[in-house]
Amino acid sequence: MATPEVIREAVRSFDLAVDSVRELNQALHRDLDGGRVVVRNPGGGHAVAVGLDAPFEVEIEGHVGYYCAGMNKLATVRVRGNCGVGVAENMMSGVVVVEGSASQSAGASARGGLLVIHGDASARCGISLKGADIVVRGSIGHMGAFMAQKGALVVCGDAGESLGDSLYEARLYVRGSVAGLGADCVEKEMRREHAEQVRELLARAEVDDVDASEFRRYGSARRLYNFHVDNLGSY
Amino acid sequence: MCGIAGLYTKSATLHEHLGRHLAAMLEQLSDRGPDSAGVAFYRDPAPAGWCKVSLHSPSAAADWEALRVELEVEFGEVAPPRVRATHAVFSIATEAEAAEAWLFERHPELTLMSAGCSIEIYKEAGLPERFVERFALREIAGSHALGHTRMATESRVTTEHSHPFSTGLDLCLVHNGSLSNHNRLRRLLAREGIRFQTDNDSEVAAGYLTWRLREGASLEQALEGCLEDLDGFYTFAIGTADGFAVLRDPIACKPAVMAETDEWVAMASEYRAIAVLPGAEDAVSWEPAPGQVYSWGTASLVA
């Protein structure tokens, strides 16, 4: 457990070679209500900085395991390393930045906020996305945005097989090649409002070496589910 | 869920500590597989004309010295057995096939865990942490090693059903996942003369590789064959006398992470099992792509 002396400092710091993940997360849930927190020696540990519900700025110095920053609300979590399965899964709001690469199911079911991955993301990135936005500076693996319902996935590199399989109303933007589209996913016209959305997301993700005009848009053909235009406001 | 680990050294300076590092990896993967644990070490190659076998006895009072005398009568020279918990490794002055055939016939009560030139396999039901202590894993030196922690889904929890599985000389496999066409494949491979000791699905994958290699495929070709012929989920790590390979199924259902430094190449189910290795913080690490064979060393040299 971090000592009260440490908590009073401007930057709170945890060393996961000494402190347990539970001690870190309990401090973030109970003892603190925001501010800058540095986490050292994460050692690939699971569930680092999950369930945050305050405007923290958490910096994690190294690689983490599964579900890092899951269920994040309000906080900004930056990982200076790679992430295991399910980074920012079920995120509600806030920002999660991965400076390295992310494993499978990055941003799964996330409802709000922004997930930025500077490296690559592997399979099932943005699976069942429910309203969050994801920007990947590199490429994504197969089954990206599987059954994604709402939100945007911006991929600056390439996308693997079966992109957007069984897609609902999420918007997918890919700059590079797409190995294959999943069931009911089609390429759609890139109109001005779409380029504007990509430009805005790239700016928020602080990706400044990529031009929004180079992206192509993919979305649902709406043949697999009971979409009706009169219900558009519900999505 | 299971945990798998592999560690392949690129520099001899690591050989002496191989057991210590693999033990640390297994302990990290204990939560993924508390039912049983096992390892394969490649070390101390037998001299030309000799072979090495790893044997397991279910009896606590196994008389390994008596077995040595019997082997000596049959084959001439036999080095004193190196006993580790319930296992013993014998070096015998004969071809591995001859030793295997004799052991299967004369000592069906023993399980032949491995045979070949340099492979040694140790495995046991029970908690991985306890296995590490009981088999004094940290003392074992070698050039490369595989490890497994098992959470059983497809067959019983026994020492024989634990990983690694070896069905051919110096070849072994650890598996995270489950195969659905293993019964049909086992029957087919049995007709081709591959010997199986359990009803476990992963043993069939090992047998499949043995068969393909026997038919002239390189390890890489045999692994590519898995993508066609195995139905199910898998991340495999495979060891040969001086090679190491990794393969994930095309859907990448089961996790895997790899890392490489100038000193070693490692794979594990989770990064935390790599984080315990020396220099891990500066290693290049990546997630192996689905359906792609990764291999190091001489991948095709199985005897």
Answer yes or no: is A153 within a domain: yes
For B286, the closest chain A residue by CA position comes to A101
- Report which of A66, A97, A95 is spatially closest to residue A81, judged by C-alpha positions: A97
Q: Cβ B270–A84 below 8 Å, yes or no?
A: yes
Closest CB to A44: pick one of B271, B286, B289.
Answer: B271
**Chain-centroid distance, C-alpha A82:** 13
- Report which of A98, A75, A85, A86 is spatially closest to residue A205, judged by C-alpha positions: A98
CATH code: domain of residue A201: 2.160.20.60
Domain ranges for chain B: 3-38+125-297, 46-116
Closest CB to B275: pick one of A63, A103, A123.
Answer: A63
For A121, the closest chain B residue by CA position comes to B287
Closest CB to A104: pick one of B252, B281, B286.
Answer: B252
- Between B153 and A197, residue with greater pLDDT: A197
Q: Cβ B287–A103 below 8 Å, yes or no?
A: yes
Contact A170, A146 (CB under 8 A): no
Per the structure, the complete domain to which residue A67 belongs is given by 48-224
Rounded to the nearest 10 degrees, the angle between the axes of helix B64-75 and helix B96-106 is: 120
Distance from CA of B280 to the nearest CA of A (A): 9
3-state SS, residue B59: coil
Closest CB to A65: pick one of B270, B285, B290.
Answer: B270
Q: Cβ B255–A84 below 8 Å, yes or no?
A: yes
Contact residues, chain B, for A84 at CB < 8 Å: 255, 257, 270-271
Q: Give ∠ CA B72-B144-B112 in degrees, rounded to 5.
A: 35
Contact residues, chain A, for B281 at CB < 8 Å: 62
Answer yes or no: is A32 within a domain: no
Answer yes or no: is A232 within a domain: no
How far is the C-alpha of B267 from the C-alpha of B257, rounded, in Å?
A: 6
Residue B109 at interface with chain A, using a CB cutoff of 8 Å:
no
Q: What is the ipTM of this complex?
A: 0.88
- Between A1 and A36, residue with greater pLDDT: A36
> Which stretch of DSSP H or E encloses residue B98?
helix B96-106
- pLDDT reading at A1 higher than 80: no
pLDDT class of A6 with cuts at 50, 70, 90: very low
Is there a cis peptide before residue B164, judged by omega within 30 degrees of 0?
yes
Distance from CA of A104 to the nearest CA of B (A): 8
For A141, the closest chain B residue by CA position comes to B289
For B271, the closest chain A residue by CA position comes to A44
Looking at residue A227, what is its pLDDT? 67
pLDDT class of B108 with cuts at 50, 70, 90: very high
* Mean pLDDT, chain B, integer: 95
Answer yes or no: is A233 within a domain: no
Contact B246, B236 (CB under 8 A): yes
- Between B35 and A10, residue with greater pLDDT: B35
Domain B46-116 has CATH 3.30.70: yes
Answer yes or no: is A14 within a domain: no
Give pLDDT tens digits for B146-171.
Answer: 999 999 887 899 999 999 999 999 99
Residue B117 falls in the annotated catalytic set: no
| Mutation target among B253, B286, B287 for the A interface, most CBs of A within 10 A | B287
Residue B303 at interface with chain A, using a CB cutoff of 8 Å:
no
Among B2, B51, B172, B226, the one annotated catalytic: B2
Residues of A with CB under 8 A from a CB of B: 43-46, 62-66, 82, 84-85, 101, 103-104, 122-123, 141-142
Give pLDDT tens digits for A33-68.
Answer: 899 999 999 999 999 999 999 999 999 999 999 999
Answer yes or no: is A35 within a domain: no
Q: Among A215-229, B190-204, B243-257, which stretch is predicted with the lowest mean pLDDT?
A: A215-229
**Number of folded domains in chain A?**
1
Contact residues, chain A, for B273 at CB < 8 Å: 44
Q: Cβ B271–A85 below 8 Å, yes or no?
A: no
Answer yes or no: is A95 within a domain: yes
> Which stretch of DSSP H or E encloses residue A201?
helix A192-204
**Inter-chain Cβ pairs, chain A and chain B, closer than 8 A:** 48
Residue B292 at interface with chain A, using a CB cutoff of 8 Å:
no
How far is the C-alpha of A121 from the C-alpha of A169, rounded, in Å?
A: 21
How far is the C-alpha of A173 from the C-alpha of A201, rounded, in Å?
A: 11
Q: Cβ A44–B287 below 8 Å, yes or no?
A: no
Residue B274 at interface with chain A, using a CB cutoff of 8 Å:
yes
Contact residues, chain B, for A139 at CB < 8 Å: none
- Between B74 and B302, residue with greater pLDDT: B74
B3-38+125-297 maps to which CATH number? 3.60.20.10
Contact A170, A126 (CB under 8 A): yes
- pLDDT reading at A8 higher than 90: no
Answer yes or no: is A8 within a domain: no
- Interacting residues of B283 by C-beta distance below 8 A, sequence separation 6+: B259, B260, B261, B266, B274, B277
* Pairing of the two strands A114-117 and A130-136: parallel
